[in-house]
């Protein structure tokens, strides 16, 4: 499992905060109160659950005070897949959700599978390295190592551990140290009540009081004897420890007068060691960088450079053609939308042709319409028509009046007036007829001039609207045909220019295909540019690495020349000679670290080892005497107790004692049953340990290699036996963990942990979290342990939280101090 990134909704001081864990090993730097431990606890909490609020655990919940949000998520990679593990506030460690790359969600079972069924206790025992755990190295035993191994290394250990859990559960149903409901707990309570009742039933006899005094005296004597025995045993244990330290004290005392060899300094040796490691790492990085360059060149050769250059050089032209195609597509859509209107126009035009002929006349202009209206007007009536009618009427009246009156003058005057009026009217009629003839001739001439001769002049004005509609329809149909032709020619031109690149039947399809082609070419161009940039960056990095390698080699050879050697092999032999030359001084320094000032003062009081042994034997006799005194007082107390039980205040005492005896028998049977469950569970655990024993050699070998590196080859062997954990020096001297200095003991613990992790990585590979775990290491040993962690990072993710300001100089460091300031 690898943790890619961390998102914190709310946890301690961190609220809505993201961390990217890209480096491996990933170093997280921050001084005290910067939030290192908070971040480390958050990662463990997301994987294994939040702490509950009981007792001191409430201080481990890290609930934020500035927001109601609590929890967050981890983006992890496991088995080639990415998952987001989200945990929020809830019961039993919080609500957990596991989401895969497809968005499918799972629960706690999926998380347990990703963790390889490793729980928090096992994770802390193997993958979590903290200073508090390093301080308990002296308590490490062979059984501790075996228990950790069998939980992850034994085949099908999960089923066996489930059986152990069932046995322990059955045992808890019989007895729990602080329980009340288990049967054995209830019977023990009942037995205690019976004992109290028996005590109440006892008589107040003088002998009873005397026996009570005797028992109290015996108890006081036993208490005093036990106190003296405890003091004597403590002194005896001190002497036993001094006896184990006596050889170390002798070696230290003999080495006080030894002289120091004058050779090259330890700083130069450490520098050469460091430069050698840097040289190997730089060579590895150079090889990796050369492989990356070859890969990038191979990827670059897959691109068609001519096609990319054509796309880049003519991009504006392709974009212009795509714009033209979009216009043509829009015009095609418009023409398709107007297609049904064109059919209606053609039908309407055909109807007009049927009404006015295949080629109807041209519509009249405004001037021509005015002219036609003038021609169609009737001739103006005679202006004196009223006078003529009046004369005719008056003349007629005079004639009638003259005839009636036989007046000839009036009759003649009337006839004259009638004749004059008739002649005058005839003359006006002739003029009106001539005007009509001239108008009709003008209309005929107008009709021929404008193609209207086939139609009645009465229709000429009414048909003008139809003739204008016909002209409009003809123009629309002509323009539509002309536009379709121009679009087709433009589309053919674009198709010819895009031949071999993009194809399509119509403008819309060709525009979409051209856009897709441009996108592919754009993606290829961006990919080609990105690879070119990566190639240039990788080339610069390779040049820089080679330059660094030359500098490291020059610095290393300068130290070799100071030592008078010319090769790595000669320098290794030189170091062996130097080690032998300083053996006495180094041994004295090691022994001095293993002895405190109090130990030296205590051992100096003895002339030799024999005097120390005599003192121990004297104390052994005293311990035996005190034990005899305590046992005698105990026997006296028991005898007094038996006599007290024989005295009864009333007749109910025998019955109560019988009930107590029967209950004691039942308690014995239930205790045997509880012991059976416990022993069976222990037997299964031991069997699992034996099943995992085949990994011991590899684990110890890896741990020995790491421990030798950390101690600069001072210790070469790690021993696991019934007495605990011990180590051997290069000179085959054996030291128990308790005899080592604090720093060396912590390095042993780290070596065992890292050896365990390196061998078990094929079973379970989880992130290693180191929370200020190397505070007692000097600078050189910190560099060595970081080199080891870099090796482990090939199989496990390493997260190193430290307050050492020198870590800020490393690559890819997450600086919490800078994060706070931002």
Residue of 565 and 378 predicted with greater confidence: 565
pLDDT tens digits for 528-538?
A: 788 888 888 98
Identify the H or E element spanning 770.
strand 768-771
Burial, 747: exposed, middle or buried (Cβ in 10 Å; 0-12, 13-18, 19+)?
buried
Q: What share of the chain is helix, strand, coil (3-state, %, to 5)?
A: 70, 10, 20
Q: What are phi and psi of 502, to 5 degrees?
A: -135, 140
Mean pLDDT of 790-813: 85
The fraction of the chain above a pLDDT of 70, given in percent, is: 77
Write down the pLDDT at residue 8.
94
| Residues 545 and 286 sit within 8 Å (Cβ to Cβ) | yes
Burial, 642: exposed, middle or buried (Cβ in 10 Å; 0-12, 13-18, 19+)?
exposed
Closest CA relative to residue 459, chosen from 361, 378, 350: 361
Q: How far apart are CA 205 and CA 202, in angstroms?
A: 9
| Residues 176 and 182 sit within 8 Å (Cβ to Cβ) | yes
Could you tell me the pLDDT band of residue 380, with boundaries at 50, 70 and 90?
low
Residue 326, SS3? helix
Residues whose CB falls within 8 Å of the CB of residue 27, separated by 6 or more in sequence, listed in order: 800, 802, 807, 810, 812, 813, 814
Q: What are phi and psi of 794, to 5 degrees?
A: -70, -25
Write down the pLDDT at residue 95.
93
| Residues 400 and 414 sit within 8 Å (Cβ to Cβ) | yes
Closest CA relative to residue 545, chosen from 280, 809, 295, 783: 280
Residue of 649 and 439 predicted with greater confidence: 439
Identify the H or E element spanning 694.
none
Q: How far is CA 51 from the centre of its chain?
A: 22
Joined together, the tokens standing for residue 159 give 């089923």
CA distances from 550 to 565, 739, 811 (A): 19, 44, 20
Domain-wise residue ranges, the chain: 183-263+603-673, 380-449
Write down the pLDDT at residue 436.
76
Q: What are phi and psi of 125, to 5 degrees?
A: -70, -20
CA distances from 31 to 47, 140, 502, 820 (A): 25, 30, 63, 11
Q: How far apart are CA 252 and CA 586, in angstroms?
A: 10
Q: What DSSP string describes 333-371? A: HHHHHTHHHHHHHHHHHHHHHHHH-SSPPPPP-HHHHHH
Q: How far is CA 151 from the centre of its chain?
A: 28
Write down the pLDDT at residue 197.
72
Q: How far apart are CA 10 and CA 72, in angstroms?
A: 7
* DSSP strands (E only) in 31-179: 71-78, 81-88, 95-99, 105-106, 128-130
Could you tell me the pLDDT band of residue 28, with boundaries at 50, 70 and 90?
very high
Q: How far apart are CA 8 and CA 6, in angstroms?
A: 7
| Residues 18 and 5 sit within 8 Å (Cβ to Cβ) | yes
Could you tell me the pLDDT band of residue 385, with boundaries at 50, 70 and 90?
low
Q: How far apart are CA 19 and CA 24, in angstroms?
A: 14
| DSSP at 29 | E
Identify the H or E element spanning 719.
strand 715-721
Q: By mean pLDDT, which of 15-24, 404-413, 607-616 is the weakest?
A: 404-413
Radius of gyration of the chain (CA): 58
Write down the pLDDT at residue 135.
53
Residue of 673 and 278 predicted with greater confidence: 278
pLDDT tens digits for 647-705?
A: 544 445 566 677 778 888 788 777 777 777 676 666 566 555 544 555 667 888 888 89
Write down the pLDDT at residue 204.
44
Place of tokens 């990796």: 288
Q: What is the mean pLDDT of the chain?
A: 77
Q: By mean pLDDT, which of 171-175, 259-263, 544-548, 664-668 is the weakest?
A: 259-263
Mean pLDDT of 214-233: 83
Q: How far apart are CA 31 and CA 804, in angstroms?
A: 8
Residue 97, SS3? strand
Residue 740, SS3? coil
Question: Which residues sit opposite 7 in a β-bridge?
Answer: 18, 73
Q: How far apart are CA 175 and CA 670, in angstroms?
A: 8
Cα four-point dihedral sign 409, 412, 417, 420: negative
Write down the pLDDT at residue 196.
75
Q: What are phi and psi of 519, to 5 degrees?
A: -65, -45
* DSSP strands (E only) in 103-171: 105-106, 128-130
Crossing angle between the packed helical segments 366-376 and 408-449, to the nearest 10 degrees: 150
Rounded to the nearest 5 degrees, what angle is found at the Cα of 17, between the Cα atoms of 13 and 18?
Answer: 140
> Which segment, 293-302, 550-559, 595-604, is predicted with the most confidence on average?
550-559
CA distances from 796 to 3, 115, 167, 731 (A): 10, 13, 35, 34
Closest CA relative to residue 41, chosen from 10, 68, 62, 18: 62
Residue 505, SS3? coil
| Residues 726 and 736 sit within 8 Å (Cβ to Cβ) | yes
Residue of 354 and 278 predicted with greater confidence: 278
The fraction of the chain above a pLDDT of 90, given in percent, is: 11
Write down the pLDDT at residue 581.
62
- pTM, two decimal places: 0.40
462-490 CB burial, b ≥16 within 10 A, e <16: ebbebbeebeebeebeeebeeeeeebeeb
Q: What are phi and psi of 23, to 5 degrees?
A: -80, 160
Write down the pLDDT at residue 500.
65
2 pLDDT above the threshold of 90: yes
Q: What are phi and psi of 203, to 5 degrees?
A: -80, 170
Could you tell me the pLDDT band of residue 262, with boundaries at 50, 70 and 90?
very low
Q: What DSSP string describes 695-714? A: GHHHHHHHHHHHHHHHTTTS
Q: How far is CA 104 from the centre of its chain?
A: 16
Q: What are phi and psi of 130, to 5 degrees?
A: -125, 160
CA distances from 170 to 151, 204, 290, 598 (A): 21, 45, 63, 51
pLDDT tens digits for 94-108?
A: 999 999 999 999 999
Please, what CATH class does the domain formed by 183-263+603-673 belong to? mainly alpha
């Amino acid at each position: 499992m690898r943790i890619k990134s961390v998102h914190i909704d709310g946890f301690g001081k961190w609220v809505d905060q993201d961390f990217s864990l890209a480096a491996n090993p990933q170093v997280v730097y921050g001084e005290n109160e910067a939030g290192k431990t908070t971040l480390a606890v958050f990662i463990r909490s997301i994987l294994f659950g939040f702490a509950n609020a009981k007792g001191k655990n409430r201080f481990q919940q890290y609930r934020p005070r500035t927001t109601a949000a609590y929890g967050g998520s981890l983006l992890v990679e496991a088995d080639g897949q990415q998952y987001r593990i989200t945990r929020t506030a809830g019961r039993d460690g919080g609500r957990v959700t596991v989401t895969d790359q497809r968005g499918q969600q799972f629960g706690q079972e999926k998380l347990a599978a990703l963790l390889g069924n490793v729980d928090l206790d096992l994770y802390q025992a193997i993958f979590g390295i903290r200073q508090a755990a390093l301080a308990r190295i002296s308590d490490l035993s062979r059984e501790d190592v075996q228990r950790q191994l069998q939980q992850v290394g034994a085949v099908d250990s999960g089923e066996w551990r489930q059986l152990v859990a069932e046995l322990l559960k059955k045992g808890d149903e019989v007895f729990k140290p602080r329980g009340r409901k288990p049967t054995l707990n209830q019977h023990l309570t009942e037995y205690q009540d019976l004992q109290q009742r028996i005590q109440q039933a006892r008589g107040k006899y003088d002998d009873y009081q005397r026996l009570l005094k005797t028992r109290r005296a015996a108890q006081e004597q036993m208490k005093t004897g036990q106190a003296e025995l405890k003091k004597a045993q403590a002194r005896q244990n001190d002497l036993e420890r001094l006896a184990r330290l006596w050889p170390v004290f002798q070696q230290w005392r003999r080495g006080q007068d030894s002289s120091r060899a004058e050779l090259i300094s330890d700083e130069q040796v450490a520098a050469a060691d460091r430069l050698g490691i840097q040289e190997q790492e730089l060579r590895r990085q150079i090889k990796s960088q050369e492989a990356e360059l070859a890969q990038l060149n191979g990827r670059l050769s897959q691109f068609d450079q001519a096609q990319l250059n054509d796309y880049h050089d003519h991009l504006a032209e392709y974009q212009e053609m795509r714009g033209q195609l979009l216009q043509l597509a829009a015009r095609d859509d418009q023409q398709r939308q107007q297609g049904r209107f064109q059919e209606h126009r053609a039908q309407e035009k055909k109807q007009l042709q049927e009404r006015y002929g295949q080629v109807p006349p041209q519509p009249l202009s405004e001037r021509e319409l005015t002219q036609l209206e003038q021609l169609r007007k009737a001739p103006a009536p005679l202006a004196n028509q009223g006078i003529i009618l009046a004369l005719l009427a008056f003349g007629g009246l005079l004639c009638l009046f003259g005839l009636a009156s036989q007046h000839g003058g009036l009759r003649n005057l009337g006839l004259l007036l009638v004749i004059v009026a008739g002649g005058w009217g005839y003359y006006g009629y002739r003029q009106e007829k001539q005007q009509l003839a001239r108008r009709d001739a003008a209309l005929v001439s107008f009709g021929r001039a404008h193609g209207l001769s086939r139609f009645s002049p009465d229709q000429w004005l009414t048909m003008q609207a139809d003739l204008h509609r016909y002209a409009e329809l003809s123009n629309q149909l002509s323009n539509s045909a002309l536009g379709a032709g121009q679009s087709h020619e433009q589309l053919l031109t674009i198709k010819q220019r895009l031949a071999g690149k993009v194809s399509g039947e119509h403008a819309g399809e060709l525009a979409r295909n051209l856009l897709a082609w441009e996108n592919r070419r754009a993606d290829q161009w961006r990919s080609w540019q990105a690879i070119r940039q990566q190639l240039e960056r990788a080339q610069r990095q390779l040049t820089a690495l080679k330059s660094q390698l030359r500098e490291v080699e020059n610095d290393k050879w300068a130290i070799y020349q100071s030592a008078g050697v010319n090769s790595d092999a000669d320098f290794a032999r030189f170091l062996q000679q130097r080690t032998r030359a300083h053996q006495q001084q180094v041994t004295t320094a090691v022994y001095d670290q293993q002895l405190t000032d109090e130990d030296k003062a205590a051992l100096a009081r003895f002339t030799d080892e024999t005097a120390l042994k005599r003192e121990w034997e004297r104390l052994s006799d005293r311990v035996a005497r005190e034990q005899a005194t305590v046992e005698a007082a105990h026997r006296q107390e028991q005898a007094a107790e038996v006599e007290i039980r024989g005295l009864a205040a009333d007749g109910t005492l025998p019955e109560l004692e019988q009930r107590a005896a029967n209950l004691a028998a039942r308690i014995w049977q239930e205790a045997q049953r509880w012991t059976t469950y416990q022993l069976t569970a222990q037997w299964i655990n031991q069997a699992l340990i034996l099943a995992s024993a085949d990994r011991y050699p590899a684990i110890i070998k890896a741990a020995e290699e790491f421990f030798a590196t950390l101690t600069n080859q001072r210790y070469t062997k790690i021993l696991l036996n019934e007495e605990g954990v011990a180590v051997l020096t290069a000179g085959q001297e054996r030291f128990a963990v308790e005899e080592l200095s604090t720093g060396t003991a912590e390095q042993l613990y780290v070596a065992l942990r890292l050896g365990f992790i390196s061998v078990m990585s094929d079973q379970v590979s989880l992130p290693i979290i180191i929370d200020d775990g190397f505070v007692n290491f000097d600078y050189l040993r910190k560099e060595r342990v970081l080199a080891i962690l870099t090796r482990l990072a090939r199989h496990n993710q390493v997260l190193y939280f430290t307050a050492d300001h020198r870590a800020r100089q490393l690559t890819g460091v997450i600086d919490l101090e800078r994060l706070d300031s931002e």
